[in-house]
Structure 1
Amino acid sequence: MLTIGFPRAMAYYYLYPFFRTFAESLGAAFVVSPPTTKATLNKMEFCPTDEPCVAVKLLFAHVKELLERDINHILIPCLVSVEPDNFCCPKFIGIPYMVQNALRDDARVLIPRIDLYRGDDAWQESFVAVARSLGVNSRRQALAALRKAAMVQRRFDRTVAEKRLTIEEAYQLYDKGKLFNGGPPSTPTAKKPVIGVVGHPYILYDTISLDILKQVRHYGPVLTAEMVLPEVAKKEIDSIAEGERLWSFEAQVLGAALHFLRQHLVDRLILVGSFECGPESIIESYVEDEARRQGVPFLLLTLDEHTGEAGLVTRIEAFMDVAPEKRPEVQVPVPAPERRLLPGPPPERMVVGLPSMGHLDLAIRCALGECGIDSLPTPHASKEIIELGKALSPEFVCLPFVITLGQMRYLLERGATHLLMVGGKGKCRLGWYAQIQEQLLRKLGYEFEMIIIDSPVPFARRWSKFRGAIKEATGNASWWRIIRALYNGYHRIAAIDRAEKECHRIRAFERQQGTVDKLFRRFVRAVEQAPDSTTVQQLLRNFLEEANSIEMEETNPVRVRVLGEIWVVLESYVNMHLERLLGRSTDPRVWVDREISVTNWFHQHIFPTREALRRREEIKQAAKPYLGTEVGGHGHISVGLTALARQEGIDGIIHLMPFTCMPEIVAQNILVQLSQRFDIPVLTWIITDQTGEAGFETRIEAFLDILKERKLAGGL
């Protein structure tokens, strides 16, 4: 009999009955790795990088323990979407591929994929493939096992909620065959405070939590998120704009927390998370606000492998000593925030402010101007802007959130009446920025309107909202005027992107370094002032002609590909003016290859061109052997561009990512293996508000020295 090993981490705490039922229905033995011990923690170094949250590193450690037991196959599911309208966190999508790339014998990893978002049953074929790996060639038998597994899991989830069991208690009963027996739900003991403890079960019930539930139970009975029926949690989530599109597991945690608070079921609430948990930085604001509204003391506990028991106990003791506020006698609507008057007289006209990404704000402001809408210049990222955003931001939210929030505050203080921001719920956090930022700004009393531009696709469901946002942003201009303005705005950013690409090449050969940069700065100012797209096109032709007349010299430059999360790649202040730094290098000279741009994204996603779609598919196919599905953001592209690098003449890779960026954490983990596989140097730079320029330049110089030595050795 074949044996399947299942790591006691991540998906285990959500779908153990499902995968055990599936495997055993096919005649395989199903073995779960033992509970986490100190020895397990020592095996977390099997994870190639230190950036993933502790849950990911624990999964690597548990895989290591299963491999040491000589298990036939390791099952690690790829959970893309377990509900039709939303996704799972990128780490649940990418973890099987992260582990697969870390193993020499990757054939031992079985990767069934669940993806209900697409609305079809294509994902079921991955379970059929797993069945074949186990020697079951009957597709009918595999699908029957899949249906049975889904039925058991649904029954399990409902039973746990109805009996008010923790996952840990439920699994013990399930393994003994006693879970589905009769028995009333547990009832909180009278005269003791009821404490809600919510968070991911893979943290709460792992040894890493230092048995936090046991410690909290000293003070009273505990309610956890799995004790709330999914439909009840969903009803609470529906009170949040687009709450149905929140990540599935986080939606259950948030929905349960809101239910406990609004129904006055708990006297205190603790949200337990892990260091660097991306989704938690989004739901944290909603939980904290509701706890404040209901007068319930709230504690956020963030744990990792270094958390000490003494400090944890002290924090819980102090929290339990906090006197609860007076509860409202009845549930009341969300109160309107205290308004803060903007500087100067009340605005008499619409003034739009928007965050920046590279030169995109220039194009958008020009388009707004053509529609008769006033806008404020977007401030460049700076220490001042970072501090404005950091003062309001959740602890582990990514740097793009912090800086764009800081830019919003700056613009509001200078008279903006409307803020324009992108939306679009997906796998990374970007789609939730605008909602959380609006909530945080209104908490300070700012008075403004937030206009969120979401994707219009699919048109049947989202066109109406998209149309309304565009009309609001343009002052209800005619569609002819809007289309003309967007057309001219597109040509401005496309011209700037084309000119930047030429700068990348010329910097590697110009005799007097810095000549093309002066020319480019003058070109950008002219594009901003140009009256129409015809003028912009002429400006671009003039720039290319002047740039190519710059005096050149013979050099042998190294080719450096810059990739990563699009915002930090395009924001020069945030990436320490990386491209300018590379362009100043004299030994070696550097030819930057940067494919990520606003124009390329536009051509691949909004108005696709044949060339852009061909390139997108090429990158996707190159990534597929190492990352079998998209994880959000530019994580998939980072892997694909790295896999293509050597054959495209690239000497080295610089990978940029903001601290806690979920898709790029997945990519970084895989890039470590690709660097060895393709023998290409990869430098990953993790950017925070504490990143120092001196250390950055030293690392870049050392990296370039490596590339120069390799190039010289290759030429001998």
Structure 2
Amino acid sequence: MPTVAMPRAMSYYYLYPFFAAFFEHIGVDLIVSPPTTKQTLNKMEVCPTDEPCLAVKLLFAHAQELLDAGHKQLLVPCLVSMEPKNFCCPKFIGVPYMVKHALSKKIKIHIPEINLFANRDDWKESFVRIGSSFNVGRQRVLRALREAWRAQDLYELACVDQRLTGPEAFAYLRGQKPCRREHPQDTPAVGVIGHPYILYDTFTIDILKSFRDYGKVITAEMVPAAEARRQVAGLLEGERLWSFEARILGAALYLLRNNLVQKLVLVGSFECGPESVIEGYVEDEAARRGVPFLLLTVDEHTGEAGLQTRIEAFMDVQPLESLKTAGRPDENRPLEVSAATVPGVRAEEFIIGMPTMGHLDVAIRSALVECGIKSLKTPHASKEILELGKELAPEFVCLPFTITLGQMRWLLQNGATNILMVGGKGKCRLGWYAQIQDQLLRKIGHDFNMLIIDSPFPLGERWSNFRSVIKRTTRDASWLKILRALYFGYHKMAAIDEAERICHRIRAFESKRGSVDRLFRRFIRDIENASLTETVWGLARDFREAAAAIPLEDTNPVRVRIVGEIWVVLEAYVNHHLEEMLGRYEDPRVWVDREISATSWFHQHLFPTRKATERKHVIKEAANRYLGTDPGGHGHKSVGLTALAGSEGIDGIIHLMPFTCMPEIVAQNIMVKMSQELDIPVLTFIITDQTGEAGFETRVEAFLDILKDRAPQDPALNSKSHLTPKLNVSPRR
């Protein structure tokens, strides 16, 4: 019988019954790697980068163990969506491609994709392809998929009915009788929730055993999925929370609201992005119920002694007297579900504040003025703003969240009564920023309206909410006035982005350094003050003409492409004014290529143009060779723009990403191999609040020295050695 091997990590802990049944019904033996040992931990170094969370690194280690054991075919699923309205964490989407590029030359990797978003069925074709590789026909594969779902349903039923953990349910379905530990009636019940690949992988200690020494333990699998989902549905757009995190959060809310536990523990891994979103909801609910709460964060360096000490100390904490007995809820009492919070209209003065990204607030504030709405100027990112955000932000949330939270706090302290923020639940955390920030700001006493603008597409599903928020934001202005305002704001945004592209080019060739930067700063001041669209057009024309008049020289620059997460790419404070820094270098001169902008995002996602759509397709096709499914954010674009670099005359890539950014962690991991295969230097900066300017600039200098050494020594061999008066420069080939 042919065999395929599955790493004992991530998807295994959620979907092993599904995959075991599927391969059994197509006549393939599914082998699972042994439990984690110290030797396994030593193999985590096969992961090309340090940034992925522990779960991803363990998957790499288990894959390597299977390779070392002689297995030739590996199964690493791509989990895009487990339900029609939400996605899985970007790491579940990207990890098979991360492993593929680290090990693909040594082993065949099967990547079945599950994607139930919008009730799609095309994901089944990936299983059909796997079946065909084992000479199994399409109809047999589809029957095997139906049996696989039945097996998964039986597993979930066993967890609930028999009060079993995932591994216990695996064993139970194989005919093993579960080993139960009896506790006295008054023994406290402890809810221990978290991803099963953390709870049940004994890389440090057996966490569940440690808590079972004190009393009964209830885990997320023991809560019916329908009840967990019902609890999460009470949150604003809770149905769009990541699938597995929704199950964890819903189970925690169910246990707390129905008095089923006297203590609650959330076990997570260092750098887990979705956990930084759900932990606040769990902690707040536990506080409201008077239930002691513990957040245990673990990684490969977590010591057994320290964990055990924290568990012992936590179990000594006493809950409120009224909650000392835990039992089943009254069956006649309806289960509690919080109502979704929808901001209303405040009676006092209506003043809008908004976090920003680059110069985007200039365009938005201008549009608001056109609608007669008063707004506050957004403070630029700074140390003061960072500290305001850090005081409130969750520990492992990304830097964009923290600084935009700081900007919101400053705006509220300075008179804003409404905060305007983007929404849009997707694969990365951005869509949850506004809700979590709203909670954190209210905790310290701010009373305000959070106006969350989401995409209007698809119109049938999203238009009503979009229309409502636009009308509240503009105080019910007419649609004619709103459209004129948006038209005006768009032209400011487009003018600024065009001016920045001109600066990127001129800096590389100007005779007198800093000429175009002085011109640009004056241009921004004039654009901010412009009150008519015609004025904006005139200012843009004047800037182009003034820039064209700047004296140039033949400098033979290197071309550096900047890719990464859009916020850190556009926010000069957090990237240490990277574009201006590159523009100051004399040897070599640098021509920056930065395709990511507010305007390009607008044209590719909201109001597509033909040119933008074609370019988006080119980038996607290039990325798909290395990352077959989009993990969200700008991760796919980072990979695609890197793949295109050589053919588009780019000499090197600078990749910017916030610490813990899930999509960019996926991209960075793959780009390590791409850099080697495509012979394109890549410099990645992981931006945190601790990123120092001196070290940043030192790394940039070293990177530019590499690019300079790689450049052709004979100017005649370099197609950029000749300049036309209009700076129509061909890139190096």
**TM-score w.r.t. length of structure 2:** 0.94
Alignment of 1:466-615 (within 5 A): 466-615=466-615
Paired AA for residue 354 in structure 1: M
State the Cα distance separating 1:155 from its structure 2 match: 1.5
Distance 1:519 1:326, change over 3 A: farther
**Partner residue of 2:724?**
none
User: Aligned in 2, Cα 1:237/1:559: closer, same or farther, shift over 3 Å?
Assistant: same
- Residues 341-490 of structure 1 correspond to what in structure 2 (within 5 A)? 348-490=348-490
Residues 235 and 338 in structure 2, CA contact (< 8 A), matched pair in contact too: no
The corresponding residue for 2:254 is 259
1:480: how far off? 0.3
Deviation at 1:187, TM superposition (A): 7.9
- Are residues 334 and 114 of structure 1, via their aligned partners in 2, closer, same or farther at CA, if it must alter by over 3 Å? closer
The CA deviation string for residues 442-484 of structure 1, in whole angstroms up to 9 with x for no partner, is 1111010000001111111211111000001111100000000
Shift of 1:333: 8.8
Give the corresponding residue for 1:307.
302
| CA apart distance, 1:85 | 0.8
With over 3 angstroms needed to count, the CA separation of the structure-2 counterparts of 1:78 and 1:332, relative to structure 1, is closer
Cα distance in 2 for residues equivalent to 1:663 and 1:520: 32
Partner SS state of residue 120, structure 2: coil
The answer to whether the 8 A contact 1:88-1:427 is kept is yes
State the shift of 1:103 in Å. Answer: 1.9
1:155/1:334 CA distance change after superposition, 3 Å: closer
Q: CA deviation at 1:159?
A: 1.5
Contact 1:294 1:327 in 2 (8 A): no
Alpha carbons 2:72, 2:107 under 8 Å: kept = no
1:173 matched residue in structure 2: 172
Q: Which amino acid aligns with 2:660?
A: T
- Quote the Cα distance in structure 2 between the aligned partners of 1:689 and 1:188: 48
1:90-140 C-alpha deviation (Å, 9 max, x unpaired): 00000000011112427700001011103221110000001111221x110
Aligned partners of 2:460, 2:353: CA distance in 1, in Å? 30
- Corresponding residue of 1:151: 150
State the 1:186 CA deviation.
8.5
SS at match of 1:487: helix
The reply to whether residue 243 of structure 1 matches residue 260 of structure 2 is no
Matched residues in 2 for 1:437 and 1:536: separation? Answer: 34
Instruction: Check the 8 A contact 1:257/1:287 in 2, yes or no.
Output: yes
Question: Given that residues 44 and 57 in structure 1 are in contact (C-alpha distance below 8 angstroms), is that contact kept between their aligned partners in structure 2?
Answer: yes
* Paired letter, 1:139: R
Q: Deviations over 1:233-266 (max 9, x none)?
A: 0111111111110000000100010011000010
2:139 paired residue number:
140
Cα deviation, residue 142, structure 1: 0.7
Give the one of 206, 209, 215 matched to 1:211.
206
Gaps of 5+ in 2: 325-332, 718-733
SS at match of 2:203: helix
Q: How big is the shift at 1:334?
A: 7.0
**Within 5 A, what are the aligned runs for 1:686-701?**
686-701=686-701
In 2, distance between residues paired with 1:374 and 1:638? 37
Q: CA deviation at 1:669?
A: 0.2
- C-alpha spacing 1:335/1:390, structure 2 compared with 1 (3 Å): farther
Q: Choose which of 306, 322, 340 in structure 1 pairs with 2:317.
A: 322
Q: What is the Cα deviation at residue 325 of structure 1? A: 2.5
Distance apart, 1:168 and its partner CA? 1.8
| Paired residue type of 2:206 | D
Q: Which residue of 2 aligns with 1:343?
A: none
| Deviation (angstroms), 1:189 | 3.9
Supply the AA of the counterpart residue of 1:249: F
Superposed CA deviations along residues 418-451 of structure 1, whole A, max 9, x for unmatched, are 0000000000000000000001111111010000
Q: In structure 1, the residue corresponding to 2:118 is in which secondary structure?
A: coil
Q: Any conservation in 2 of the 1:163–1:186 contact (CA below 8 Å)?
A: no
CA distance in 2 between partners of 1:607 and 1:462 (Å): 15
Query: Take 1:284 and 1:246, find their aligned partners in 2: how far apart are those partners?
Result: 13
Task: Tell me, yes or no, if the aligned pair for 1:21 and 1:152 is still in contact at 8 Å.
Answer: yes
Aligned residue in 2 for 1:83: 83
| Aligned match for 2:276, one of 281, 284, 288 | 281
**1:713 shift after superposition:** 5.2
Equivalent in the alignment of 2:2: 2
Residues 298-334 of structure 1, C-alpha deviations (whole Å, 9 max, x = no match): 0000000000011111111111111213447999897
Partner of 2:327: none
Cα shift at 1:165: 0.3
**Identity across aligned pairs (percent)?**
64
Cα 1:669–1:190 shift into 2, 3 Å: same
SS of equivalent residue, structure 2 residue 278: helix
Deviation at 1:2, TM superposition (A): 1.4
1:617 is aligned to 617
Q: In structure 2, do the counterparts of structure 1 residues 572 and 326 end up closer, same or farther at CA, with 3 Å as the change threshold?
A: farther
- 8 Å contact kept, 2:234–2:340: no
Q: What is the letter of the counterpart of residue 235 of structure 2?
A: I
- The answer on 1:669 being equivalent to 2:664 is no
Amino acid across the alignment from 2:145? L
CA distance in 1, matches of 2:349, 2:42: 62
- Measured in 2, the distance between the counterparts of 1:347 and 1:557 equals 57
1:340 corresponds in structure 2 to none
Partner of 1:341: none
> Is the 1:418–1:449 contact (alpha carbons within 8 Å) kept by the matching residues of 2?
yes
| Distance 1:335-1:415 versus aligned 2 partners, 3 A rule | farther
CA contact (8 A) 1:7 1:33 kept: yes
CA pair 295-398 structure 1, distance change in 2 beyond 3 A: same
The Cα of 1:712 is off from its aligned counterpart by: 3.9
CA deviations on 1:34-61 (whole Å, 9 max, x unpaired) are 0000000000011000000000000000
Which residue in the other structure is 1:342 paired with?
none
User: Per-residue deviation at 1:73?
Assistant: 1.0
1:161 is displaced (CA, Å) by 1.1
Native 8 Å contact 1:78 1:95 kept in 2: yes
Structure 1 stretches lacking a partner, 5+ long:
338-345
Contact 1:347 1:417 in 2 (8 A): no
Give 1:67's aligned amino acid.
Answer: L
Structure 1: distance between partners of 2:468 and 2:288:
31
Deviations 1:163-193 (A, max 9, x none): 110112112223x3347xxx99988641211
Structure-to-structure mapping, 1:42-81, within 5 angstroms? 42-81=42-81
**Aligned partners of 1:583 and 1:589 also within 8 Å:** yes
Is 1:224 aligned with 2:219?
Answer: yes
Contact 1:297 1:324 in 2 (8 A): yes
Q: Pick closer, same or farther for the CA change 1:234–1:186 going to 2, 3 Å.
A: farther
Q: TM-score, normalised by structure 1?
A: 0.96
- Root-mean-square deviation (Å): 1.9
Encode CA deviations 1:339-364: one digit per residue, 9 max, x unaligned: xxxxxxx9842000000101111100
| Equivalent residue number for residue 229 of structure 2 | 234
Q: Supply the AA of the counterpart residue of 1:253.
A: I
Residue type of the alignment partner of 2:219: T
Q: CA deviation at 1:714?
A: 8.0
Which stretch shows the higher mean deviation, 63-72 or 281-290? 63-72
Native 8 Å contact 1:347 1:415 kept in 2? no
The equivalent of 2:680 in structure 1 is 680
2:706 corresponds to 1:711: no
Match of 1:32 in 2: 32
